[in-house]
Chains A and B, each alone.
Chain A
Amino acid sequence: MEALSIYVPKLVTPKEYIASGHRACSGCGEVLAVRYVCKALSRNTIISNATGCMEIISSQLPQTAWEVPWIHTLFENAAAVASGIESGLKARKRKYGYDKEIKVVAMGGDGGTADIGLQALSGAMERGHDFIYVCYDNEAYMNTGIQRSSETPFGASTTTAPSGKVSIGQHTWKKNMAAIAAAHDIPYVATSCSSYPFDIMYKIEKAMKIKGPSYIHILAVCPTGWRCPSNATIRVGRLAVESGVFPIYEIENGKYTLNLDYPKLRPVADYLKSQGRFRHLTEENVAVIQEKVLEEYNRIKTLSHMRKKSK
């Protein structure tokens, strides 16, 4: 994947579907991920965007950064609105012979996906609408000032789960949204990270070809909330993947593939040390996280190897 990224201009479209001049923080990993997703989606899409960073930084009246059809929805109903659009398009095809292929995409942050919008998302996936759900996971409610969400990892300090003498910050583990989506038996589930542009584009292109719901979970580095320098966005994202904290894999009809497999993972301490939100962790805490990370990574690895053996 890394070798591919040399001589980039020949490999990607120069067209930008999210315009410059958006109000994201400098070094934002989330808007970077949106940029890749939109490049892969291209023009024939309708995006339904849940409230969150991406919505407020891109659409300040009287301006918009979007150059694709885009609907602002509330936190909880991005997937419901996407289902409606998809059904509407289907009805137009049936009644009026409308024949254009349009992909419906719902987007949300981790709060809009894993906390508030989970019910609507679950419903849409269960009904089998032909749409893509993209979750930009920056591991807290960054838009309103770094409040914890269910995607916040163990040990991270946030404004509503602060670290101190009594608490180490967030004391629950990150909710595994990809596994929840996979449990709906949908055709395509994938995870990716904002530091891997070609991986994101490859997965979006794959999801576009699939009939039925697909779910893509993208880890988006947030320098403001993760308390790292703005130029470290790409490096921190890479560390998350290389240390196994956030494995990049895809599940096609229940079959696991680990896209980036490392025979020897980096210690999670490298990843944790790169960010201020984990600054307070002791060596024992890090050892606990290391154990959990290896367990989860090996689970996915075993699942993806089992598939190879059975073939």
Chain B
Amino acid sequence: MKNEIIEIRWHGRGGQGAVTSAELTAMAAIHEGKFAQAFPSFGPERRGAPVLAFNRIRYDRPVRERSGITLPDVVVVLDPGLVTLIDVTEGLKPGGTLIVNSTRSVEDLQQNFDGDWKLAVVDAGSIARKLLGVNIVNTTMLGALIKATGLIKFESLHEPLEERFGARAKSNFEACKLAAENTVLSQITTGGLKTRRSFAVEKLAKWQELPIGCVVKEAGNTRSFCTGDWKSQHPEWDDKKCIKCGICYIYCPEGCIKQQKDGFFRADMFFCKGCGICAQECWTQAISMVEEA
């Protein structure tokens, strides 16, 4: 076991600090004399889009591997919304560990997964809000990682946190400790409700069937791209207060708010990124932003 490479995958959203988490983990491991890598993976998408970060940690020898990680031993989910949105357990090895930031109970979350994994749940969001004043859970989730896997020690986090956050290192460290205390561990077994996604190779198309490269055939075809899963909160309309002025419609950067036949406005949740401009600008305060479950 000691010779094996431990691979971690971090799921977060742009701006939440998954990349920082991975870097801090690697720095702490290196501080302990282990060998480690940290690298992110994201497209050109922006703040709010799902991003991935990875770690490789080895006890006794340098890590020579430079490829991407497809079969991680540990998966950490920073954003509660991602659990229902994407298959966070994709490729997670049997016997691996899944660490989730969620306000939901362990029993409730177990329904979402199917496999032989260890599940650790912590409400990192409220810890971060309480101790750091912001809903950025990257350092808080490190505590849950330490509790669930014991890969690194608390003491070795001191120096990386100091280097990264300076004066704010102390509160981040406290958040980390508190998260470790509040992490609930449990075991998931196969035979749950959801069937796992299969990884069968798709049937390859013949050359005659391939589309012409580098040609966009349809104008405005980003309409098929869902940006709605970036949001951490969504707008809700109170039609009693609405005066149908359309200020939300004109100020929506996505252009996803439309007037319905009855004259009231609604946003298309397929595109809404949850920026909150409509709620901020509404004259009669008919729009309120509601946190995603």
Chain A residues near B (Cβ < 8 Å): 5-9, 12, 14, 16, 18-29, 31-32, 35, 56-68, 197, 223-224, 229-235
Contact = CB atoms under 8 A, between A and B. Distances in A.
A59 B250 CA distance: 23
Contacts of B268: 20
Contacts of B44: 23, 56-57, 60
A231 B49 contact: no
B276 interface: yes
Given A5-B247, A234-B281, A18 B255 contact: yes
Interface string B272-288: 01111101110100000
A233 B277 contact: yes
A51 to B, nearest CB: 13
A67 B275 contact: no
B47 interface: yes
Given A229-B276, A231-B276, A67 B250 contact: no
B253 interface: yes
B227 A21 contact: yes
A19 B252 CA distance: 12
A8 B245 contact: yes
B277 A27 contact: yes
B47 A8 contact: no
Secondary structure at the A interface, as helix, strand, loop or mixed, is loop
Contact of B222 (A6, A20, A229): A20
Contacts of A62: 211, 215-216, 221
Nearest to B250: A8
Nearest to B15: A224
A11 to B, nearest CB: 9
A85 B115 CA distance: 59
Interface string B256-293: 10110000000010110111110111010000010000
Given A8-B249, A22-B222, A24-B253, A231 B279 contact: yes
Contact of A9 (B214, B220, B246): B246
Contacts of B245: 5-8
A230 B279 CA distance: 11
B226 interface: yes
Residue among A14, A23, A62 facing the most chain B CB atoms (10 A cut-off): A23
B133 to A, nearest CB: 14
B281 A25 contact: no
B223 interface: yes
27 contacts: A14-B259, A18-B255, A19-B223, A20-B227, A20-B254, A21-B222, A21-B223, A21-B224, A23-B44, A25-B47, A26-B46, A26-B47, A26-B48, A26-B274, A27-B253, A27-B273, A32-B251, A32-B253, A35-B253, A62-B215, A65-B220, A66-B220, A224-B47, A230-B47, A231-B280, A233-B277, A234-B277
Contacts of A61: 214, 216
Contacts of B58: none
Interface string B207-240: 0000100111001111111110011000000000
Interface of B: 15, 43-49, 211, 214-216, 219-227, 230-231, 244-247, 249-256, 258-259, 268, 270-271, 273-277, 279-281, 283, 289
B160 to A, nearest CB: 21
A19 B220 CA distance: 5
B266 to A, nearest CB: 13
B274 A67 contact: no
A22 B249 CA distance: 17
A224 B247 contact: no
Contacts of B220: 18-19, 64-67
A56 B175 CA distance: 37
B223 A8 contact: no
Contacts of B231: 26
A18 B253 CA distance: 10
Contacts of A235: 280
Nearest to A62: B216
A232 B249 contact: no
A21 B247 contact: no
A19 to B, nearest CB: 4
A211 B244 CA distance: 38
A230 B275 contact: yes
Nearest to A58: B222
A197 B247 CA distance: 10
Contacts of B283: 6
Residue among B220, B225, B256 facing the most chain A CB atoms (10 A cut-off): B220
B45 A5 contact: no
B159 to A, nearest CB: 22
